[in-house]
Amino acid sequence: MNRHANESRKFVIAGIALIIVVTYIIRLAFLQLGESDYKTNADNNAFFNNVIFPSRGVLYDRNGELLVFNQLAYDIMVVMREVQELDTLDLCKTLGISKQDFIDRMNTIKDRNKNPGYSSYTQQLFMPQMSSKDFSIFQEKMFRFRGFYVRERTIRRYATNHGAHVLGDVAEVAPTDIEKDPYYSPGDYIGKQGVERSYEKYLRGEKGIEVLLRDARGRIQGHYKNGANDHKPVPGKDLTLSIDINVQALGERLMKNKMGAIVAIEPKTGEVLCMVSAPSYDPRELEGKERGKHMMEMGRDPMKPMLNRAILGTYPPGSTFKTTQALTFLQEGIINDQTAYPCSHGFRFGSLKVGCHAHGSPLTLEPAISTSCNGYFCWGLYYMFSNRRKYKNVQQAMTTWKDYMVSMGFGYKLGIDMPAEARGMIPNADYYDKAHKFSWSALSVISIAIGQGEVTLTPLQIANLGATIANRGYYITPHVVKKIHGDKLADSLLVKHITKVEPKYYEKVVNGMRRSVLGGTCHAANNPWYEVCGKTGTAQNRGQDHSVFMGFAPKDNPKIAVAVYVENGGWGATYGVPIGALLMEQYINGKLSEESELKAQAIEEKVINYGTRER
C-alpha cells in the first residue's frame, strides 16, 4: 500500500479536533466569563436568602372590634442527609400520621418532578401548618429526631363567623400571580378574595431578607458583607373596615335560607355598613389546611355560596327604580307637583298594557310613589320620549334619559374597593337601534320606567340610590375600608359624585318615600323613634317575583341607606321592608327592641325553597 496516499487527511482530522476544542472553549467563556443567567442562578444556590416574613395587617370593624388576625403555625422541615437512626414509629405517633403517610411524604420530597429544588443538604418541607398545640408535643421530642427542623409561619385566623365575602381570604400564591409580580415566590401567601385581595399591597407589608453565605457543605457561614444587604421586614398595615359587624351579623341572620343580598351605606361618607350575600359561609372554613376541601365543596354547591351577590349579582330593580324616573321627569320639566296621570289598573295604550294594582286615579307624584303606581311612571316616560319639542327624536330622548341614569351611578361600576364588581345594565339608544332596527318608540321601551325590561342593577347600586336620595343629590364612592392605619384611603374612594338632578326635586321624592312608609307600601317600616323613608320593589321574574326594598333613615340628616334584595321573595313588603327596617333599627338604636327581636326571629325561620337547579 502506498502509505502516503491520503496523508493530507490528517490535517482534516486534526482540524476537526481543533474546531471542537475551540468551540467548547468559546462556550465555556460565554458561560463562565459572560454575564449570563447561569451565574445568578448559581448565586441563588450558593447564597442563602433567608426570607423573614412580615406580619400581615389585621382587620377591625368600624367600632374597633377585631375581625381577622394572625396566628403562628409551624412547618416541619427535614434535611435528608441528617436523618439518621430515626424511630419512624415514634415520629409518626408524635405527628399523628400513619407510616404510609410518612413514606409518601418522604417520597414526594425526593421526587424531583414534584419537588424540583430538592437537595438532600437543605431543608425540605415535610409537613405544613402544625397548630401550636400539636407542635408543643412535637417540640418536646424533637431532639430525638435528627434532621428535623421547624419553620415558623403565620396563618390567618378569623374572630368572627360573619362577613366572609367582604373579608375574603388568603392562600398560597398561584404561579400566575408570581409571574405578574416578582415580589412573590412560591409558598408565599396572597389575598385571594374580598378586602384581603383588594388591599393586598397594604396588608402584606414588605418581606425582609437576610443574605447568608453557605459553604460547600450547605452550612451557614454568616451574613454576607456583614449584613449590608440585609433588610428588616416591614409589617403590613392594619385596616379598619366601615362594616358594622353587628349589622352584618343581623343581615346574615335574616337572610338565612334565602338567596339575595343586603347592602347598607352611610350616605354622608359612602361607607358600606354591611354587605350581605346569601347564602354565605363561615370564613373560618377557609383557614389553614382545610381550605382546599371546603373551596371544592362550595364550588360544587348549586347555590353558589362563594358568589358575592351584593356586587356581582345584577337584578331588575323593580319599583325602587321609579324614584329615578320621578327625578328625571321633574328635572326635565315633563312633570311638576300638579301633573296627574290616570291609572285604571295600569297603563293602557292600544294593545299595550302594563298592569297595576287598585288605587285612586288620576294621581300626582307623591301618591304615585307611595302607592307605587305603574301607570304614572309609564305615562311619564311616554310623554318624555314622545316630546318632540324638547328632543329631536326618540334617540335623543333616550340619550338624555341614559345620561341621568349614569349620573346616578348606574350602568357602570361604582368603583367600590373590592376585587370585582358588576356594572349592571342601562340600555342606550344604540342598543335599541340595534334591537329594533331603528324603528322604536317610547312604547317599545316603556318597561324601563318601572325598573323592568333591560334595566339591571347590583344591590350595591340600589343601596347607593338610597344614599343619593338621602343626600338629596350626590353620593360618595361606596367603600368598605374606613381607614388604613398609617396611610390614607385612595382619593377615588372619597370623590363626591353630583347627579344631574337638583336637590329641590329630590325633596319631592323624599316626601313620596316618606308617604309610602306612613301610609303606603312600606308602612311596616314605620316606627316611633325616627322617620324612615322607603320604596318597595316587586321585580317581575319568570318564577316567583323578587322582593326588593330601598330606603333610608332618618329622613333629615340620614345615617343609613339600605337596599334589600330577596330572590323569589314575592312582594317587596313581604321580606324587603321588614328586613330593611330591622337593619336600620339595629344600626341607629344599636340594638333591636323586644318586638323587633320577635319579628327578626320570624324572618330568620322563613325558608324560601329554590330547588336544586343551577343559578
Partner 1 sequence: MAQGNDSKSVIRSIDWATITLYLILITWGWFSVCGASYDFTNPDVFSFSTNSGKQMVWACTSFTLAMALLMIEKKFYNMGAYIIYGGMLLLLIVTLIIAPDTKGSRSWIPLGPVKLQPAEFAKFAVALAIGKYMDKYDFNMNNTRQFTRLIAMICVPILIIILQKETGTALVYLTFFLVLYREGMTGSLLFTAFAAVVYFVVGIRFSTDTISVNLPVITGEFVVLILAMVFTTIMTWIYTKNELALKVMLVGGWGITLLAILFSVYVIPFDVCKIILFLNLLIVLYLVVLTFYYRFYKYALIAAFAAMSTSFFYICHTMFDHLADHQRIRIEVLLGMKEDLRGAGYNVNQAKIAIGSGGLSGKGFLNGTQTKLKYVPEQDTDFIFCTVGEEEGFIGSAGVLITYLLFIWRLIALAERQPDTMGRVYGYSVLSIFLFHLFINVGMVLGLTPVIGIPLPFFSYGGSSLWGFTILLFIFLRMDAERNIKRQ
Q: Which residues bind partner 1 (CB under 8 A)?
A: 1, 3, 5-7, 9-10, 12-14, 16-18, 20-21, 23-25, 27-29, 31-33, 36, 38-39, 41-43, 45-46, 112-113, 116, 119-122, 214-218
CB of 433 to partner 1, least distance (A): 37
Shortest separation between residue 77's beta carbon and partner 1, angstroms? 16
**Beta carbons of 463 and 263 less than 8 angstroms apart:** yes
Distance of CA 518 to the CA centre of its chain: 36
Q: Which is nearer to partner 1, 122 or 395 (CB)?
A: 122
Q: Residue 371 corresponds to which cell in the numbers above?
A: 302607592
Give 23 or 336: the residue with its C-beta nearer to partner 1: 23
As measured in angstroms, the least distance from the Cβ of 24 to partner 1 is 6
Place of cell 453565605: 213
Distance (Å, whole) CA 262 – CA 275: 6
Query: Is the Cβ of residue 21 or residue 489 nearer to partner 1 in the bound state?
Result: 21
- Selection from 432, 430, 439 nearest residue 454 by Cα: 432
Residue (14 or 72) nearer to partner 1, CB: 14
Q: Is 431 within 8 Å of 402 (Cβ atoms)? A: no
Our CB check for partner 1 shows the closer of 117 and 302 to be 117
Give which of 531, 544, 519 is closest to 581, Cα–Cα.
531
Which is closer to partner 1, CB of 82 or CB of 531? Answer: 82
Between residues 27 and 268, which has the closer beta carbon with respect to partner 1?
27
* 80 versus 484: smaller Cβ distance to partner 1: 80
Residue 17 Cβ, how far from partner 1 at the closest point, in Å?
Answer: 5
Which helix (H) or strand (E) covers residue 402, if one does? helix 394-407
CB of 87 to partner 1, least distance (A): 21
Cis peptide before 128 (omega within 30 of 0): no
Contact 317, 286 (CB under 8 A): no
Nearest alpha carbon to residue 504 among 474, 472, 533: 472
Q: Which long-range contacts (CB under 8 A, 24 or more apart) does 394-402 make?
A: 394/429, 394/440, 394/441, 394/442, 395/429, 395/433, 396/429, 397/442, 398/427, 398/428, 398/429, 398/432, 398/445, 399/428, 399/429, 400/332, 401/328, 402/426, 402/427, 402/428, 402/429
In whole angstroms, the minimum distance from the beta carbon of 86 to partner 1 comes to: 17
- For residue 215, the minimal CB distance to partner 1 (Å) is 7
Nearer to partner 1, 13 or 296 (CB): 13
State the minimum distance, in angstroms, from the CB of residue 10 to partner 1: 6
DSSP tag of 522: T
CB atoms within 10 A of CB 19: 10
Q: How far is the CB of 174 from partner 1 (least distance, A)?
A: 18
Question: Helix, strand, or coil here: 212?
Answer: strand
Which residue pairs, CB below 8 angstroms and at least 24 apart, start in 529-532?
529/585, 529/588, 529/589, 530/554, 530/555, 530/584, 530/588, 531/555, 531/556, 532/581, 532/584
